[in-house]
Amino acid sequence: MSAVGTIAYEAGEHAVLLLHGLSSSPLELRFLARALYREHFTVVAPVLDGYSAGMQEQRMEAWLASAVREFDALKAKYASVSICGLSIGAALSAALAAERPAAQALILLSVTLDYDGWAIPWYRFLLGWAYFTPLRHRWRYREDEPYGLRNEALRAKIARAMQKHDFSEVGPSTISLPALHEASRLAIKVRHQLPSITTDCLIIHAIDDETSSPLNARYVDAHIGASFLRTIYLDDSYHIITSDNEREIVAREIVMFLRESEATRNAGNGSIPPVVSKALARRLRRIAALGS
């Protein structure tokens, strides 16, 4: 399987710019793109220079510049433009929102400011040092199970694809050290920018995310400057929540939030408390009962 090009569906006057994960492709956002299109949103999931699979790798400033160009092209054509990103694409979306505060809404899916999930190898902390050695051009991080997926049938399908090809519908089989280094630089930038980002913001994160723990979502929730803010935690997915067991929930919550953002524009409704899935609510009640 090879990486795919830009996904684009034209519908209403509210456009949504979808940004995929690091060294991946719009393919991992295909389900969400189709779901938004069915709800009459115009959707564009682009291939970004220096960031997407198959492109010559560049510094994170080039990633952001490419994302800015995509946003500006949509803003020139449509009444409203929202930004949605997955994983490192969520961090890139936040940086874009800081550059373009005219965005209608900002949606952060499995936001990754730190690779601190339970499946991240112990040597991860050494990679920052390795970047400044000859390993920089030779070593690549290899993706392994669970490939961001709790769904076992889909995980088996992805495992077969990873064995045969360099790419799958949930991302690449390997990621270069320079790409990971630039992702870390982007995360540092976003941490500093969060207080200045006032765009309506929806955060969706799996509590069992194996790549970026919920601490990432909590950090953004605590530091972002948005007054219209909602955080949703899922309990039946791993990192790639746009493809995993709760992908329908993710799509539905995004549609609802986008419509609420439109309806409450300039209304000043203020902060909204965190929202949890029904399954997670049941788990939290059981934990509370055991504790008492």
- Tell me the backbone φ, ψ of residue 229, rounded to 5 degrees: -135, 135
What is the value of pTM for the model shown? 0.84
Q: Where are the alpha helices (DSSP H) in 131-277?
A: 152-164, 177-193, 215-223, 247-263
10 Å Cβ neighbour count for 267? 9
CB of 91 within 8 A of CB of 220? no
Indicate the class that CATH gives domain 7-122+178-291.
alpha beta
Angle at 230 between CA 261 and CA 90, to 5 degrees: 90
Q: Pick the more confident residue, 94 or 284.
A: 94
What average pLDDT does the chain have?
Answer: 85
pLDDT grade, residue 291 (50/70/90)? low
- Tell me the backbone φ, ψ of residue 101, rounded to 5 degrees: -65, -10
pLDDT grade, residue 278 (50/70/90)? low
User: Is 181 one of the catalytic residues?
Assistant: no
Task: Answer yes or no: is pLDDT of 279 > 80.
Answer: no
pLDDT in tens, 215-263: 999 999 999 999 999 999 999 999 999 999 999 999 999 999 999 998 8
User: Is 93 one of the catalytic residues?
Assistant: no
Out of 200, 208, 209, 235, the active site residue is 209
Delimit the domains of the chain by residue range: 7-122+178-291
CB of 176 within 8 A of CB of 204? no
Out of 87, 212, 237, 277, the active site residue is 87
User: Is 239 one of the catalytic residues?
Assistant: yes
d(C-alpha 285, C-alpha 278), whole Å: 11
pLDDT in tens, 132-190: 566 656 655 556 667 778 888 887 777 676 665 555 555 555 677 788 889 999 999 99
Mean pLDDT is lowest, of 197-201, 208-212, 277-281, for: 277-281
Confidence at residue 1, expressed as pLDDT on a 0 to 100 scale: 40
Out of 14, 181, 205, 239, the active site residue is 239
Confidence at residue 158, expressed as pLDDT on a 0 to 100 scale: 72
